[in-house]
Amino acid sequence: MSSSAEELREEVRRRYAESARAVTEDSKGDSGSGACCSDDSGASAVWSTRFGEVLYDLDQRGELPDAAVLASLGCGNPTAVADLHEGDVVLDLGSGGGIDVILSARRVGPTGTAFGLDMTDEMLALAQRNAVAAGVENVHFLKGMIEAIPLPANSVDVIISNCVINLSTDKPSVLAEMARVLRPGGRVGVSDVVAEDRLTPEDRAQRGSYVGCIAGALSKAEYEAGLEAAGFDQVSVEFTHEVADGMHAAIVKAVKVAEPKTATLPTIQTAGSGCC
């Protein structure tokens, strides 16, 4: 049986909460067991090279509290590709333990601001502690859904995210919300798992679960079409490394050039055998 959107969201929330508790309660920070991208998708066997903290260079990891590094569950390093400038307002969708928010806050400097948005209380608490430990003050963590961002329209310069958009059960709303809160000319620099266009939704579900960041991933063409429909230009989706057969970590970039429209994407059906 396939799972409902609410059931999938709750499963994602539970896994993120487990990861935050693992880092908080275990001095060794064994965060991999609860990570969204390391469950039964097959990614756990290659966790050390395809997901998590190793995707940040040693200099970046040296700037961060250990708990922030250990809580990294992403498939890329959006701060390495996002076009950040002094004074920018940056928003991290699904900010988790705060690693990308802290790095962004340092890059935009004291005249800029870095927001982190997450739906999980445990991750928000961990991120707050990590920000204090890192000594950054120009950060704000918000509780909410990436499908309904709790910020005003035209208030953000750059949106980043790390292996989170694929977990949403309503991706058109996410893309439309991104366009709403970005200022005209605002930029997107996202790391995400993306499928090759040859894979059907059923193919994706066979390669891993929804909470494993596989079954719910958009194809390259779907991502490009969705961003363009939401009001973005200069859209690019570039694969970086394979995480499962036909599934890749990717760098997604775009620029807002118009007022947001309603994003229209093909419905992603999740096959019961591959989900959760």
SS3 content of the chain, % helix, strand, coil (to 5): 40, 25, 35
Task: Take residue 127 and report the two structure tokens written for it.
Answer: 């991120």
Please choose, from the candidates 156, 60, 72, the residue with its C-alpha nearest in 3D space to the C-alpha of residue 114. 156
Rounded Cα gap, residues 45 and 117, in angstroms: 29
Residue 233 CB coordination number (10 Å)? 11
What value does the mean pLDDT of the chain take? Answer: 79
The closest of 87, 141, 91 to 110, measured between CA atoms, is 87
Structure tokens at 91: 């928003």
Cβ pair 221, 140 in contact under 8 A: no
Q: How does pLDDT run across 80-95, given as a tens digit for each residue?
A: 788 899 999 999 999 9
Question: So where are the chain's domains?
Answer: 5-274
Strands 139-143 and 247-256, bridge-based pairing: unpaired
| pLDDT tens digits along 16-53 | 667 656 666 653 433 333 344 544 444 444 434 444 44
Architecture of domain 5-274: 3-Layer(aba) Sandwich (3.40)
Residue 54's CB is within 10 A of a number of other CB atoms, namely 15
Which pLDDT belongs to residue 79? Answer: 81
Q: Given a cut of 70, is residue 191 above it in pLDDT?
A: yes
CA distance 106 to 264: 36
In the structure encoding, which two tokens stand for residue 207, read together?
């390669």
CA atoms within 13 A on the CB side of 6: 0
Q: What is the pLDDT of residues 123-137, one digit of tens each?
A: 899 999 989 999 999
**Tokens of residue 219, six digits:** 């194809």
How far apart (Å, rounded) are the C-alpha atoms in residues 263 and 216?
Answer: 17
Would you state the structure tokens that stand for residue 19, as one six-digit string? Answer: 């990861």
242: how many CB neighbours lie within 10 A of its CB?
13
pLDDT at 16: 66
- What stretches of the chain show up as alpha helix (H) in DSSP? 5-25, 47-50, 58-62, 66-70, 78-81, 99-108, 121-134, 171-181, 201-207, 220-230
